Amino acid sequence: SITAWVLAIVVLVAQVICFSVYINGATLVFDSDKDWVYQYVCPRDNPACRITSDVGGLGWIFFAVFLAVHLLSDIVNGLKLVWNAPRYGLSWKTCQCLFGGFCLFSISALALFSSVVYNVAISRSNLELIFNTVILLFVNDLDEKM
């Protein structure tokens, strides 16, 4: 139906805008205020720098598990839709499968990219890493809640 397509496109645009805000906040630009947090602190009176990040291997393992559990099925399903779309020949259903599969794969890939970029840029503890990951995965699940 037309209403479902309009709602799906509105949700997709909202997700892209949310993820682009996170990606933009994680960019390293010196002339503007961004969310980037430096990992190293180098005092002027000491030639040795120290690392301020407390993110350990356990935090990155949870990060990878959360992303795999939540995004892998959407990535695989999006690719399956695109792969199986030609099965219907040249029809409206083929266009719907191609568009839907491409959108599902693209938004999941964008969620993966923004999660990695944003967490590398600002997470300085395991708690921050997991917290940021859960928020970004919530944005990814907007399409399933609508």
Q: What is the pLDDT of residues 83-137, one digit of tens each?
A: 888 877 777 778 888 888 898 899 999 999 988 888 888 777 887 888 888 888 8
The residue-averaged pLDDT of 16-24 equals 86
Q: What is the pLDDT of residues 54-83, one digit of tens each?
A: 777 888 888 899 889 988 988 998 999 888
- Strands 50-51 and 40-41, by their bridges, are antiparallel
Token pair in block for residue 13: 């645009």
Nearest to 97 by CA among 109, 108, 87, 82: 82
Q: pLDDT at residue 7 above 70?
A: yes
Whole-structure pTM value: 0.79
